[in-house]
Structure 1
Amino acid sequence: MKSKSAEKIKLTSYDELFGAEENNVEGKYTKVPLSQLHPFKNHPFKVLDDEKMQETVDSVKQHGVIQPGIVRPCADGYEVVAGHRRWRACELAGETEMPVIIRDLDDDAATVLMVDTNIQRENLLPSEKARAYKMKYEALKHQGSKGDKHTADAVGEKAGDSGRTVQRYIRLASLIEGLLELVDTGRIAMVAGERLSFLKPEEQEMVLEAAGNIGAYPSPAQAGQLKAMSEEGTFSEGSIYALLVKKEGGGQSVTISSKKIRDYFPPAYTKTQIEEVIYSLLEQWKQRKGEEIDAGDTV
């Protein structure tokens, strides 16, 4: 049985809530089977079966879906523009259909609406905002927004983020998945992630591997150094380890005479080449020590 408060809600209130006037698009209210719903392409927001989802499920069971989702027609049903969490809650609650507003939206208008109806959610991960802002930025550019700064300001308006903050998030979207996860978990600061995003994908892979091997992650200053090395063409595996080992060592430091080291290498070897050989040999030594320990524990 529907609540009286639900019966009092009019379609115009939904339009105001989801910005129909802004998009100048009318919609049709109806209910559709859950089997006909499909997720928004490249939907950047996570839908988790967490405590908040359970609260939504309980609400759906008790009151139904008070606030309809927004969908648009697609080849084999409807693409969900807003309401992915409500859709999932309906599934978990055992519902077979969900109330929606059907709207004819082009890709850009649908993207802007999708981002705007989700971007003010609490506890969004940096990766979610990065991908969402990038999608909305590109959509607004397609719609004819002029000037990067103006567009970035428009992108962040709904969430109260400045154009500069938006640009930083958009840079994060250029990180490889592994590094973006480290930003999400706080092991790499957002500022450091922004600087690492300027590295080539293969360079980012090298940073991710090195960080995983030694359990140390680039600070903002170190990320800036890595970016500079990439721009100067001096980026190498050895340079990554050299930076991260400095951080990991904390107060301990070991100084080896460069003159003594030179005795072990051909005169033509550069500093970078020498570093690569040293760290390669250290890694081999580390692996052998690990094998010796494992062998000693074997019965």
Structure 2
Amino acid sequence: MAVKRPEIHFESVEELLGVPQMQDGTELVKVRDIFPFKDHPFKVVDDEKMDELVESIRTNGVLTPVLIRPRSEGGYEMVSGHRRLHAAEKAGLEKIPSIIKEMSDDEAVIAMVDSNVQREEILPSERAWSFKMKMDAMKHQGRSDDSASGLEGPKLTVDKIGEESGFKGRQVKRYIRLTELIPSLLDLVDEKKITISMAVDMSYFNEEVQGWLLDYYKSNGKITLKQMAALKELQNLSNITKYTFTATLNGALPEGKGNGRVNLSERKLNKYFPARMTAKERERIIIELLEKWKAEKDNK
């Protein structure tokens, strides 16, 4: 009679790395079956902290399960744990411990925001879009005061969001305003080149004017609060021309000290003139434009 030999068990990558196995509602789900949350506002960056997380997962496994929800088209949508999932992939895991929970779209948005908004380092753009998404979800759920409306959100809604995230309602409104910025200006806020206060002011201008603000910043390296104040004081701002826009910002600059000489580098002039145009031709055109500007200014 043949002796039944014990079945040989080959350890998986997850077992070798110490990933928890089926604990208290936790299931091992294939990494390839998990899809990112739609319009996820939080960035997953391959930086030094990500490297540290990858190394930790290689050593200890994924200690905190991710939160996912089933998708109607198959697989799962990530709700909380995008960084852990990315790190697990980099560490070579095929499966990740997950808590699977049925959630509506609004419930998933709120859970996604609440699980990320308390992180130590959050970019202004991430906070802005997460607050906006949570506000919209709460409005869909009827958790807002319908007597007030608008982009900034009903008062009770923004106050509730602030209370749950450690901010005042007024601060939540200001962050939500940032979602009205064109992406390149919002990037400057993330890079701390434009303050949040100035960015909020910029958010009230239309996309065309915001584009001019971006161009002006790139050409001059900064925009001052005094310049923004002068721009906001303009009448009929919706019909402003780029000429008036530039003249307004330049006019709000402090008068320079010295002999009054103006130096225009060839690099700056090449932006407006053909490279082969002679210096004399450039000077003639500049004088003509200055004469036109002076005449218009004197006639106001």
Deviation at 1:121, TM superposition (A): 1.0
Structure 1 counterpart of 2:208: 202
Answer whether contact 1:31 1:98 (CA < 8 A) is retained: yes
Deviations 1:221-274 (A, max 9, x none): 43344344376445321233224435666634999xxxxxxxxxxxxxxxxxxx
Q: For 1:105-184, what aligned pairs fall within 5 Å after superposition? A: 105-147=103-145, 148-184=154-190
* Percentage of identical aligned residues: 38
Structure 2 counterpart of 1:31: 28
Deviations 1:80-119 (A, max 9, x none): 0000000000011011111110111101110000000000
> What's the TM-score once normalised by structure 2's chain length?
0.73
Two-structure CA RMSD over aligned residues (Å): 3.1
Answer whether contact 1:34 1:87 (CA < 8 A) is retained: yes
Structure 2 counterpart of 1:52: 49
Q: CA separation in 1, counterparts of 2:208 and 2:74?
A: 39
Deviation at 1:216, TM superposition (A): 3.3
Q: For 1:199-238, what aligned pairs fall within 5 Å after superposition? A: 199-212=205-218, 214-229=219-234, 232-233=237-238, 235-238=240-243
Structure 1 counterpart of 2:63: 66
The secondary structure found in structure 1 opposite 2:164 is coil
The secondary structure found in structure 2 opposite 1:191 is helix
The secondary structure found in structure 2 opposite 1:71 is strand
Structure 2 counterpart of 1:262: none
Q: CA separation in 2, counterparts of 1:250 and 1:190?
A: 27
Amino acid at match of 1:163: G
Answer whether contact 2:109 2:133 (CA < 8 A) is retained: yes
Distance 1:70 1:284, change over 3 A: same
The secondary structure found in structure 1 opposite 2:86 is helix
Answer whether contact 1:39 1:84 (CA < 8 A) is retained: yes
Distance 1:285 1:57, change over 3 A: closer
Residue 190 of structure 1, aligned match among 196, 201, 224:
196
Amino acid at match of 2:165: A
Answer whether contact 2:230 2:249 (CA < 8 A) is retained: no
Q: CA separation in 2, counterparts of 1:161 and 1:111?
A: 19
Amino acid at match of 2:192: G
Deviation at 1:156, TM superposition (A): 2.1
Answer whether contact 2:33 2:76 (CA < 8 A) is retained: yes
Structure 2 counterpart of 1:19: none
Q: CA separation in 2, counterparts of 1:254 and 1:245?
A: 19
2:13 is the counterpart of 1:40: no
Q: CA separation in 2, counterparts of 1:181 and 1:168?
A: 16
Which structure: larger Rg?
2
Unaligned stretches of 5+ residues in structure 1: 12-27, 256-282, 294-299
Deviation at 1:288, TM superposition (A): 3.3
> What's the TM-score once normalised by structure 1's chain length?
0.74
Q: CA separation in 1, counterparts of 2:52 and 2:136?
A: 34
Q: CA separation in 2, counterparts of 1:65 and 1:129?
A: 26
Answer whether contact 1:152 1:167 (CA < 8 A) is retained: yes
Distance 1:2 1:155, change over 3 A: farther
